[in-house]
Each structure stands twice: as C-alpha cells, then as structure tokens.
Amino acid sequence: MLEAQSLSVAFGAQTILREVSFSVAEREFVCLVGPSGCGKTTLLRALAGLAPISSGRAVFKEQEVRGPQTELAVVFQDYGRALLPWRTVAGNVALALEARGIPRSEQSARIAPLLEKMHLTQHADKFPSQLSGGMQQRLQIARCLAQEPQVLLMDEPFGSLDAITRQELQDEVARLAKEERRTVVFVTHDLEEAIYLGDRVIALAANPGRIAEIVDIELARPRNQLATREDPRFLQYRHRLYKHLGH
Amino acid sequence: MAALPMKRAGWFLISLLCFAAMLVAWKLAADAKLINPLWFPGPDRSFSKLWEWISSGSLWSPLAQTVWRMFAGWLLACGVGITLGAAIASSAFARRLLQPSAEFLRPLPASAILPPAILVLGFSDAMIVFVVAFGCVWPVLLGAIHGFGNLDQRLGEVSRLLNLSSWQRAWKFQLPNALPDVFAGMRVSISIALIVTVASEMLSSQPGIGYLMLVAARAFRSADIFAGIIVLGVLGFLTNYVTQKLEDRLLRWR
Amino acid sequence: MGAVLPVVVLALWEMLSRAEVLSEDGFSRPSRFVVAGAKALADGTLLEQTAQTFAAATEALLIAAVAGIAIGAILGLFKPLERAAQLTIDALRPIPSVALIPLSLLLFGFSRNMSAAVAAFACFWPILLVTISAVRGVDGRLIEVGRLLGFSFARIIVKFALPAALPGILVGIRVSAGIAIVVTVTTEIVTNPRGLGFAMTMAAQSLQADLVWATLMWVGVIGWLVNWSLERLERRWLRYR
C-alpha cells in the first residue's frame, strides 16, 4: 500500500536518509525505531509528502507521493501546535469533514461517534487550551480519523505524555487500528512501545539514516500491557533490537 | 482570581473607600484655597457642574460629536489597516517594501498631521476624521501584518494535509490566527482615537467636548474644565472596557 | 528596499504638484519643503524648537519616572496597598492626557511646565503599572537569599529587588519616552507655547505650507530616531538577558 523505494533525503551536504526501501502492506501496523537523529521523523514526513525527497521515491497505492494528501493522515508529536486553538473539540474534528466537503447537516452525525471512540464526548465544547495533553492528542487522532485516511502516519505521538497516559493511548491506538482496519506507520524512540504495538518493527541506524534490521513481531493480539511485556518472545525481540538504538 | 467572592467584594469596598478618601482630600485642598479656586474647584462644584450639563441636556450634543468622530476615524482605520495588512502579509515582497515605512510612521504623533491636514482639508469634520484615522491605522496595520503573516508552521502543514483550497485556508486558518494581533492593534488605536479627536477639536475649534473645555479655560470656568475631565475620563474608561470585553468574548479560546 | 516606497511617493508628489493636480497652497512639494527645512535648520530655529520640545518631554519623563517608580515599587511590594488603590488607578488612568490641557493652561499658563505636566500625566501610568508588575515579579527566592545573607529590608530593595525589576521598568520607561514626545508635541500643537508643535501651527496659520511639511518631516525623523536609539540602549543595557 505504502512504499519507500530507495528513498534518500539530503539537506545540502548532509545526508539524512540514504536509500531506504521497505513496504507497508494494507492494515499492517509498522513501527519505525532508531536513535535520535537517525532520520525517522524525516522518513515519515517524506512518506507524507511533507519533506522534499532527493532521490528515490515514496509510493502510495502505486502512485508517487508528490505532496500532502488527505489519504495519508499525520498525527504530530506537538499536538498543541497541530490543533486549531480557536475551535472547540467538536470544531476541530469538523475541520476534517469540512475539508472533505461534507455538508453541515451531516457533520454532527459523524463527529459524535468519533468523539465517543476517543472518549472526548463530554469535552465536545471545550477549547484545546482547556484540555490535558493526553486529551489533546486524542483530539488530534480523532481529527485524523475524520479524514477517513487510508494510512495513519504517527510521529512519536506519545513522546510528550506521561507514562500512564502513554500506556492508555497505546492500547487505544492498537484497538483503533484493528477495529477500523487502518494501516499505521508509527515512529517512536521507545523500543518497547514499538515492539508492543507493531506487526513489524523497522530499526533504523543513524548517520546516515538507513535500515538496520526489520523484525516481524509474532505476538498474540490483542496485546496486554502486563502479559505481553512479560512474554519471553517480547524480551527476545527486545534483546535483538536493542543494539540498534545506539547503545 | 482565587479569592472568594466575599474577599473580592471586601477589597472592592476598601478601594472604594480609598477613592472616596482621595475625593475628600481634593475637597479639603480646594477648601483650604491652596490653589486659587478660580483654577481649582472642589469635587462638589465639579460634579454639580457636570450634573447641570446632564440635566440641561447641553452635554449630549458635543459628546455625540466627539464620539462619532472618534468612531468614524477608528472604524475607517480598522477597515484600511486590516485589509491592507492582510494583503501585505501575503507577500514577502510587499512586506519588505511596505513594512519599513509603516514602522517609521508609527512613532509619529498623529496630532502632528493636524497642521498639514488643516492646510489641505480646512477646518471640518472630514479633516478630523482623517487625522484620527491616520493616527489609528498604524497599530492596526502592523498588528494585521504580524497576525496574518505568522501562521504556525505545523498548522500550515495541517492545512496542506487536509487539501484545503487557498480560500478555505485564509478563512479557516489565517483569519482566526490573525485575530489576537488585530484586536490588540484595534484596542491600542481606540485610545489613540479618543486623544486625537479631543486634540483636533481643541485645535480646530470644532464643536465637541474638547472645544468646550478650551473655551472654558479661556473664560476661567474651572468647574467646567473639571466636569469635562470627568466626562472624558468616563468616555475613555467605557471605550477601553467595552473593547476589552469584546476582545475577551471573541478570543475566549485562549 | 524599504526606501523604495518613500522615494516613489516623494517623486509622485513632486510631479503631481508641478502638474497642478495637487494644490500648491496645501500640499507644497518636496523640492520646496526640503529647502524650507534646510533654511530653518541653518538659522537655528528648528533646532531651538526641537530643544524646547525635548526639554518639556524630558521634564515630563523625569517627573513621571520618579513618581511612577516610587509609587509602583511600594504598591508592588505591598499587595494590600495595591488592591486598595485599584479603583483610584482605574478611575484616573482612562483620562486622556489631552483632557488635562485646559486645566494645565489655567495652572501654568503658556509655558514649558504646562506641556510637561500634561505629558507627565500620560507617562506616569505605563511606568507605574510596569513597575508594579516588575517588582511583583521578582522571584521570591531572590529575596529569601537576601534575607539569609542578613541584609536589611532597605538594602534588599536596593540590591536585589530593584535590579531584578529593572528590565521590566526600563521597558516601561522606553514606552513612556515615546509617549512623552508624542504628548508634548500634541500639547504644543493645540496650545502653542513653544517647541516643534508651536512651529507647525504658526507656519500653518501663516499659510507657509513648505515650512509645515518640512517641520512634519523633521518631527517624523526625530520620533523615529528617539524610538530607535531607546531600543538600542535598552538592548545594550539588558544584554545579559
């Protein structure tokens, strides 16, 4: 569904990514991990059409990605900056519907289930500044879901959140991906998070960014914060991938 | 405020008492004839003169003149400032061309335009409205240029990801984003509007509160002067209060 | 690049004036008013008037600064006092400075003190408010350090509170300096005691359009210069931030 074909990104003399190639199948949950500065965010942005590609290409449904499109929704890490502060929770979700040209009369019918899915129903009339970090991130995800995208590209979405909220949202995203049958590309620096969430983990090395290893995760779903993380195979994957994080 | 309503009411009363104490001090100073009462009346004479103006109806016409000129000039400046600012913000070239001139003109006292304006437009309402507008336009213009030109990079990306048309982008993203800066400019310029209107009236002897007070000064009618000060103080307070409340309401998402 | 617009405007002005589209009586033209300005500079009148305006503005700023910082520091340090004064401040602050011109005329006649008094009123409020918030904003930790080191209360104010509050206060003074010039010129235009405003009004009354525009340009340059130099001064003094 989504592919990177010998993707390279360079800024001037500096090569951020060098000939990265991999493909993501429909409904797959792929996690990208790597040490800081390995270019994983740049890779995600290149797939989304937000970063200029120096050579190679990103391909979505057999068409080259030349710019941003609604089918490839992006969930940013800095959720505060990605939400419209002057619109309410419902208004922010409505934005995606307006962009798709859905008439006002139909909008509330679509917004309500999304808010419920993300546990935001009772906050529908609040402004982002009145929400906690976790709720704001949920709102961003709700807005992205309202786009009805084919692929969800998530850039370290839980990096700024506390541990408890992070775990809650991990489970929610995993559940959503399965329920809505969406394809997800998830960038994180947290190895355990990657293994916990992914069907496949792609480890990137730094300087320049390139694929170090790709590992299929064969852990049962639905995953559980306690049981899965204690599963011996979880630990094996962890051992295997640990070295790629620059340790 | 974290204080309980009771505590707030308590403090309000205390500050009211403090204000009353000032009025008493004023009265005592006037009575003691520290300054010639011809120039310095007590609060009783000032307030009773004000009351006389209100009850005889002689306040309303000059007040209306001052207020309409102030608002006409201010609204004109806001209209011009916002549209021009939005247009300038959309082009880096236009910004580099025009922003330095706007920044240069900002510290210019608006009243300095009065003598040339009088030469060109004569003594008229139009002249005053023009001068007021000239003084008010710079804060609004600069606010608009800043507000329209500074959309967060992330929000810009979101608008591209959502495939919005440029009209949708302007209406849903740039305009609401610009409002805080535009309102700040509008708020600053309404204070300027009041000052420039009164100054213009004083200089050009056009009927209005300003002229009223200047005439009173020449005739040594100090109570009238103080009554006028009270009127203008209330006018200033009301305009600030209303604009602030409006701004709070429209920008309550902050 | 920013100079393009002024040059174009001046060129157009000159052309339109010569073509008699713009009436010469009202609008004058750049070639004329530059000459008039140069003459006024050369014979010293423009400089003398500038000095008069500056004298009044400086007097105003000094009065406002001393009163504003003193009262602001006290109100900033003792919150109950500030709360008690709140209504008085809110009642007096919205009075437009020009409203005081007639009163000042009565009290001081046509003099430098008259303009200075009006401008001082206008400058007092920004300095007061900024001082209150700057003093209030001094980190409590800093004061604690002062007390632990055994300094007396007065010493703490001087060595800790005021320097910490200084950046904020300086910003207030910079803003007020601009206000001082503006209000002084405004007062001069309305009442003509002396100074640049007086110069402009006199020129207008004698229908000397050239001198009016020349003085206006000069006022603009002065205003910009004052603003610019104050900003640079502020940046230099507060380099440690």
Task: For residue B137, name the pLDDT band (cuts at 50, 70, 90).
Answer: very high
Say which of B155, B162, B254 has its CB closest to residue A81: B155
* pLDDT value at A140 more than 70: yes
Question: Between 3.40.50.2300, 3.20.20.70, 3.40.50.300, 3.40.605.10, what CATH number should domain A2-71+150-245 receive?
Answer: 3.40.50.300
pLDDT at C241: 55
Task: For residue C236, name the pLDDT band (cuts at 50, 70, 90).
Answer: confident
| C114-153 pLDDT, tens digit each | 999 999 999 999 999 999 988 888 877 777 777 788 788 7
* pLDDT value at B2 more than 60: no
Burial class of B93 by CB neighbour count within 10 A (0 to 12, 13 to 18, 19+): exposed
Nearest to A152 by CA among A222, A211, A75, A212: A75
Give residue A195's identity as a one-letter amino acid code.
I
Angstroms from A217 CA to nearest CA on chain B: 31
pLDDT at A197: 93
Helix (H) or strand (E) holding C181: helix C162-191
Structural domain contains residue B165: yes
| B168-183 pLDDT, tens digit each | 888 899 999 999 999 9
Q: And the tokens for C66?
A: 């001393």
Task: For residue C87, name the pLDDT band (cuts at 50, 70, 90).
Answer: confident
Beta carbons of B155 and A72 less than 8 Å apart = no
At residue B213's C-alpha, the angle toward residues B208 and B216, to 5°, is 125
Chains that touch C (3 or more CB pairs under 8 A): B
Task: For residue B102, name the pLDDT band (cuts at 50, 70, 90).
Answer: confident
Please give the backbone phi and psi of residue C237, each rounded to the nearest 5 degrees, phi first.
-70, -30
Helix (H) or strand (E) holding A24: strand A14-24
Distance CA C201, CA C216 (A): 11
Q: Is the pair B, A in contact (3+ CB pairs within 8 Å)?
A: yes
Q: Chain B within 8 Å of C140 (Cβ-Cβ)?
A: no
Compute the Cα dihedral for B27, B29, B32, B33 and give only its sign: negative
Structural domain contains residue C20: no
Give residue B111's identity as a one-letter amino acid code.
S
Structural domain contains residue C116: yes
Identify the closest residue of chain A to B249 by CA–CA distance. Answer: A86
Structural domain contains residue B17: no
Helix (H) or strand (E) holding A21: strand A14-24
Kindly report the pTM of this predicted structure: 0.82
Cα atoms in the Cβ-side hemisphere of radius 13 Å centred on B103 = 13
Beta carbons of B203 and C190 less than 8 Å apart = yes
* pLDDT value at B1 more than 70: no
Nearest to C176 by CA among C228, C232, C117, C128: C128
The residue count for chain C:
241
Beta carbons of C186 and B98 less than 8 Å apart = no
| Residue A126 burial (CB count, 10 A) | 16
Domain residue extents for chain A = 2-71+150-245, 84-148
Structural domain contains residue C4: no
Q: What percent of chain C has pLDDT over 90?
A: 19
Q: Chain C within 8 Å of B198 (Cβ-Cβ)?
A: yes
The DSSP result for C203-240, as a single string, is HHHTT-HHHHHHHHHHHHHHHHHHHHHHHHHHHHHTTT
Structural domain contains residue B13: no
Long-range contacts at C30-39 (CB < 8 A, ≥ 24 apart) = C32/C209, C32/C210, C33/C209, C33/C210, C33/C211, C33/C212, C33/C213, C33/C214, C33/C217, C34/C214, C35/C210, C36/C208, C36/C210, C36/C211, C36/C213, C36/C214, C37/C211, C37/C214, C37/C215, C37/C217, C37/C218
* pLDDT value at C157 more than 80: no
Q: Chain A within 8 Å of B168 (Cβ-Cβ)?
A: yes
* Mean of all residue pLDDT scores within chain C: 85
Identify the closest residue of chain A to B254 by CA–CA distance. Answer: A129
Q: What percent of chain B has pLDDT over 90?
A: 38
* Mean of all residue pLDDT scores within chain A: 90
* pLDDT value at B62 more than 60: yes
Q: Chain B within 8 Å of C91 (Cβ-Cβ)?
A: yes
Following CA atoms A194, A198, A201, A205 in sequence, which dihedral angle do they give, to the nearest 10 degrees?
A: -30
Structural domain contains residue C35: no
CATH number at residue B190: 1.10.3720.10
Q: Is B127:C204 a contact under the CB 8 Å cutoff?
A: no
User: Which position has the token pair 């006022």?
Assistant: C219
Burial class of C82 by CB neighbour count within 10 A (0 to 12, 13 to 18, 19+): buried
Which residues 100-119 of chain C have a CB within 8 Å of chain B? Answer: 100-103, 105-107
Q: Chain A within 8 Å of B154 (Cβ-Cβ)?
A: yes
Q: Chain C within 8 Å of B132 (Cβ-Cβ)?
A: no
Say which of C102, C178, C207 has its CB closest to residue B217: C102
CATH number at residue C151: 1.10.3720.10
| B6-25 pLDDT, tens digit each | 777 888 888 888 888 888 88
Interface of A with B (CB under 8 A): 48, 50, 67-70, 72-74, 76, 78, 81-82, 84-87, 95-96, 98-99, 127-129, 147
Identify the closest residue of chain B to C107 by CA–CA distance. Answer: B39
pLDDT at C21: 77
Angstroms from B79 CA to nearest CA on chain A: 22
Say which of B40, B101, B234 has its CB closest to residue C5: B101
For C67, the domain range is: 46-237
* pLDDT value at C210 more than 70: yes
Give residue C45's identity as a one-letter amino acid code.
T
Residue range C199-206: mean pLDDT, rounded: 83
| A9-29 pLDDT, tens digit each | 888 888 888 889 999 999 999
The DSSP result for C97-123, as a single string, is GGGGHHHHHHHH-SSHHHHHHHHHHHH
When computed from its CA atoms, the radius of gyration of chain C, rounded to whole angstroms, is: 22
Helix, strand, coil shares of chain A, percent, nearest 5, are 40, 25, 35
Distance CA A37, CA A53 (A): 17
The total number of structural domains in chain C stands at 1
* pLDDT value at C10 more than 90: no
**Which residue blocks in chain B are alpha helix, DSSP H?**
5-31, 43-56, 60-89, 92-105, 114-121, 125-149, 153-161, 166-169, 175-204, 209-218, 222-250
| A222-236 pLDDT, tens digit each | 888 888 888 899 999
Give the β-pairing of A183-187 and A29-33: parallel
| Residue B220 burial (CB count, 10 A) | 12
Beta carbons of B115 and C189 less than 8 Å apart = yes
